[in-house]
Amino acid sequence: MSRDWAINAQYAERYNPADAVFDAARTIAADYAVTPLSANTAGLLRLLTQLAKPASALEVGTGTGTGTLAIMRGMPAGGVLTSIDVDADKQAVARELLGAARIRPHCVRMIHGRGEDVLARLAPGGYDLVFLDSEPLTYPRLVPLAIERLSADGLLIINQALLGDAVAKPANRAPRTQVMRTVLSDIEARTDIERLMIPIDAGLLVLRRLGQ
């Protein structure tokens, strides 16, 4: 990120509304060696959720709850989020923070397990919004499964899509970078989705599954 981009990001972080529970989730993330969403990315995720109005949403990568909180802040009344993570301890932290945010427990279903294993068991076409915030090396398996789980016109939002500035640098041949480039190329070749890459933080890719 250039110096100007960094200055703009810092200004936006200060300008956008504060959220005490979200700030707590970000602070706690350091204790669990988790990279939390920035306030800017979380704010965009919340806005996209508000616009999508999902009755049913899905998250892969609960972490300490920064994405979970953002989605639930944007969910319509009666909407239900299913959140998946391999670490039950982090999910327990996220659930406690959701309680502090006064989000009703029945609106969030936590599932402990590997993202690709759980996704494969979920109903195809059953989710209006899916958010992937997992290790990018798993994206070749996760992304096709996530697209299959989307309803017509549903949104798939993929965090770390640019791996910061790594993907855009041809000289960067690291394994994670190569994998992410392949994922992006496979997405580009599909005719059943629309795509928009947003160069915020580590990159946010927004896909819409075209109606059948």
Q: DSSP secondary structure string, 14-81?
A: HHSPP-HHHHHHHHHHHHTT--PPPHHHHHHHHHHHHHH--SEEEEE--TTSHHHHHHHHHPPTT-EE
Amino acid at site 168:
A
pLDDT at 2: 58
Q: How many CA atoms lie within 13 A of 67 on its CB side?
A: 29
Q: Which residue has the higher pLDDT, 119 or 4?
A: 119
Mean pLDDT, residues 100-110: 93
Q: 206 - beta bridge partners?
A: 157, 196
pLDDT band, very low/low/confident/very high, at 147 (cuts 50, 70, 90): very high
Q: Of 172, 211, 171, nearest to 192 (Cα)?
A: 211
Provide the pLDDT for residue 132.
Answer: 98
In contact, 97 and 105? CB cutoff 8 Å: no
pLDDT at 194: 97
Residue 141: per-residue pLDDT? 96
- Give the span between the Cα atoms of 132 and 115, in whole angstroms: 9
pTM, two decimal places: 0.94
Predicted confidence at residue 210, as pLDDT, reads 94
pLDDT for position 91: 95
Would the pLDDT of 7 be above 90? Answer: no
Name the average pLDDT for the chain. Answer: 93
pLDDT in tens, 150-165: 999 999 999 999 999 9
Question: Residue 72 — pLDDT band, cuts 50, 70, 90?
Answer: very high
Burial 138-151 (b: 16+ CB within 10 A, else e): bbebbbbbbbbbbb
Q: Is the pLDDT of residue 58 over 70?
A: yes
Q: What is the mean pLDDT of residues 60-65?
A: 95
Q: Would you state the pLDDT for residue 22?
A: 86
pLDDT at 42 over 90: yes
Phi, psi of 189 (to 5 degrees): -80, -15
Q: Where residue 192 falls among pLDDT bands split at 50, 70, 90?
A: very high
